[in-house]
Amino acid sequence: MKDLVNLSQARWFVYAWSEIYGWLANSWDYGPYGSLLKENIKNLWIKEFVQKKDEMMLLDSSILLNPKVWVASGHVWGFSDPLIDDKNTKERFRADKLLEALIESLWEKASDLQTKYSVNNLIPESWPLEKQTEVMRGEKVVNPNNWEVWDWTDAKKFNLMFKTSIWITDDSSSTVYMRPETAQGIFVDFPNVLRTSRKKIPFGVAQVGKAFRNEITPGNFIFRTREFEQMEIEYFCEPGTDLELHARWKTDCMNFLQSTLSLNSENLRFRDHDADELSFYSNATCDIEYKFPFGWWELWGIADRTDYDLKAHMAESKADMSYFDPVNNRKYIPYVIEPSVGLNRLFLTVLADSYTVEWAWEEARTYLKLDPKVAPIKVWVLPVVKKIWDLAKKVYSQLAEDFVCEYDEVGTIGKRYARMDEIGTPFCVTIDSANYEAWKVTVRFRDSMEQELVEISELNEFIRKRLK
Ligand code: ATP
């Protein structure tokens, strides 16, 4: 993880935020290559789930919504994590996460906790706050930062929504929330979409945008941050068809990760929530988990949320959220399947999965084995000697018509290749005078390091074929 963070910062993927003012902890900026990489992941997601599916549409709703949205959705009273403080150091933690770590460390003995504390399951998130406090104290759970102290306050609910205010007049304001998820914007716009799109159920709405959560313990680089981007889908369907569609979405999301982004299948797994863990309104929920350098963690949540959200907004707003099925002449509130993934978390996944160290001639070579579709820079143009800089720039201009390219004339070829490799550039085009006179250039492949002579007139087509 440390190597990955170092490479990200050195190679312009991710920077610590407001560095000149001494940073703000756990906030990150995306540098030139990070921005392009993030944009590519987002565009591939839109291509897969909007462009290639006739029944899908894209939406861009506001970050600040009417506060009643968050009352109806349950976020004002229920969107919280269990906060627990170490009385000695005043550090704050999520009690459920400390308990999860405890359970993992106990292995098969963990089930003893169930009898000892009369809890129904080994999912601390679902235990009442008093039970979480009792187990924390009873098991003398340590503060993970100093491994010594276990003087815990009572666990209490901590709402994760950021509040801000809108000034109505000079001396009065009203509280609004920074959206903690993009999904509610889709539910609220459901009647608009229905009216204007003329789609028949099943259909879906996709959205990419910023979300904000006042996380108690952000960390693990960009895995959990307070400001992040989500890519969410609400797929509206007829009640009764939901479980089958939930299964289909699980497969589609996994295929996206494995086929489109080319992630290693052994680092991915499904984790279906069992009955104890399911929200009371959910018919099924599954997480796609990824094996991060710090363990298996949720990457993508795929939930069957039934008609809970549309009904909740119907009750609060009194707007009609029902759908009229013209084929069966029937009116109903649609059920919804919600695949939701964090763009930044997926970015970290792509980086971690592609980070490769190979030994050749007793030297380590580090490179990002990114799928060419995802790579921020597709082609790097490198003139070997100064006298052909002008010619090399012409080749660059030809390539830049079709691909995101860079031009680099500084340093030895070996050092330039090493830099391109760490940025994950799949193709380097090297130009020397002899070959240029024959209207040819050398294409060097990142993974195999093999080289091939290509006619300049055929260069763009040569790269285009390999990008597919
Ligand atoms: P977690 O258990 O990790 O807190 P969650 O179950 O609260 O996640 P959801 O509310 O289902 O997450 O959000 C959907 C997706 O959004 C998650 O699967 C994750 O990819 C992403 N996500 C959620 N919270 C954060 C965060 N603080 N930072 C980055 N990504 C996040």
Highest mean pLDDT among 78-92, 113-127, 180-194: 180-194
| Residue 332 to residue 191: CA distance in whole angstroms | 13
Asked whether the predicted pLDDT for residue 58 surpasses 80, the reply is yes
The predicted structure's pLDDT at residue 279: 87
The predicted structure's pLDDT at residue 22: 67
Asked whether the predicted pLDDT for residue 314 surpasses 90, the reply is yes
Domain boundaries, the chain: 2-77+161-353, 80-159, 377-467
User: For ligand 1, atom 29, which residue shows the shortest CA distance?
Assistant: 224
Mutate to test the pocket of ligand 1, among 224, 232, 305 (most ligand atoms within 8 A of CB): 224
Calculate how far, in angstroms, residue 460's C-alpha sits from the geometric centre of ligand 1. Answer: 40
Tell which atom from ligand 1 comes closest to the C-alpha of 230: 16
Residues 124, 96 contacting (CB under 8 angstroms): yes
The predicted structure's pLDDT at residue 361: 78
Asked whether the predicted pLDDT for residue 292 surpasses 90, the reply is yes
Calculate how far, in angstroms, residue 224's C-alpha sits from the geometric centre of ligand 1. Answer: 7
Tell which atom from ligand 1 comes closest to the C-alpha of 303: 11
Radius of gyration of the chain (CA): 26
Find all residues with CB under 8 Å of 328, minimum gap 6, and list them: none
Asked whether the predicted pLDDT for residue 148 surpasses 90, the reply is no
Model pTM score:
0.92
Asked whether the predicted pLDDT for residue 5 surpasses 80, the reply is yes
The percent helix, strand, coil of the chain (3-state, each to 5) is 40, 30, 30
* Cis, peptide link before residue 82, omega less than 30° from 0: no
The predicted structure's pLDDT at residue 433: 81
Mutate to test the pocket of ligand 1, among 340, 344, 350 (most ligand atoms within 8 A of CB): 340
The predicted structure's pLDDT at residue 409: 87
User: For ligand 1, atom 28, which residue shows the shortest CA distance?
Assistant: 224
Asked whether the predicted pLDDT for residue 36 surpasses 70, the reply is yes
User: For ligand 1, atom 21, which residue shows the shortest CA distance?
Assistant: 342
* Distances 116 to 127, 130, 135, 142, 277 between C-alpha atoms, Å: 14, 15, 9, 19, 20
Asked whether the predicted pLDDT for residue 150 surpasses 80, the reply is no
Taking residues 381-396, what's their average pLDDT? 88
Three-state secondary structure of 135-204: HHHHCCCCCCCCCCCCCECCCEEEECCCEEEEEEECCEEEEEEECCCCHHHHHHCHHHHHHHHCCCCCEE
Tell which atom from ligand 1 comes closest to the C-alpha of 346: 20
User: For ligand 1, atom 10, which residue shows the shortest CA distance?
Assistant: 181
What does the DSSP assignment read for 408-449? --SS-HHHHHHHHHHHT-SEEEEE-HHHHHTTEEEEEETTT-
Looking at domain 80-159, its CATH class is: alpha beta
User: For ligand 1, atom 30, which residue shows the shortest CA distance?
Assistant: 342
Q: Which amino acid is at 50?
A: V
Taking residues 81-103, what's their average pLDDT? 93
The predicted structure's pLDDT at residue 293: 94
Other beta carbons within 10 angstroms of residue 316's beta carbon come to: 13
The predicted structure's pLDDT at residue 23: 66
Task: Rounding to the nearest 10 degrees, give the CA dihedral for residues 313, 315, 321, 326.
Answer: 150
To which H or E segment does residue 36 belong?
A: helix 32-46
Mean pLDDT of the chain: 92
Calculate how far, in angstroms, residue 271's C-alpha sits from the geometric centre of ligand 1. Answer: 15
The predicted structure's pLDDT at residue 305: 97
Asked whether the predicted pLDDT for residue 382 surpasses 80, the reply is yes
pLDDT confidence tier of residue 362, bands split at 50, 70 and 90: confident
To which H or E segment does residue 106 belong?
A: helix 95-106
Tokens linked to 260: 């489109």
DSSP state of 386: G
In the structure, which protein residues have their CB atom closer than 6 angstroms to any atom of ligand 1? Answer: 181, 213, 215, 224-225, 228, 230, 298-301, 340-342, 344-345
Q: What is the CATH number of domain 377-467?
A: 3.40.50.800
Taking residues 213-242, what's their average pLDDT? 94
Calculate how far, in angstroms, residue 409's C-alpha sits from the geometric centre of ligand 1. Answer: 42
**pLDDT tens, 164-215?**
988 776 666 688 999 999 999 999 999 999 999 888 999 999 999 999 999 9
Asked whether the predicted pLDDT for residue 385 surpasses 90, the reply is no
Asked whether the predicted pLDDT for residue 444 surpasses 90, the reply is yes
If 0-12 CB within 10 Å is exposed, 13-18 middle and 19+ buried, where does residue 41 land? buried
CATH of 2-77+161-353, one of 3.30.930.10, 3.40.50.2000, 3.40.50.2020, 1.10.540.10: 3.30.930.10
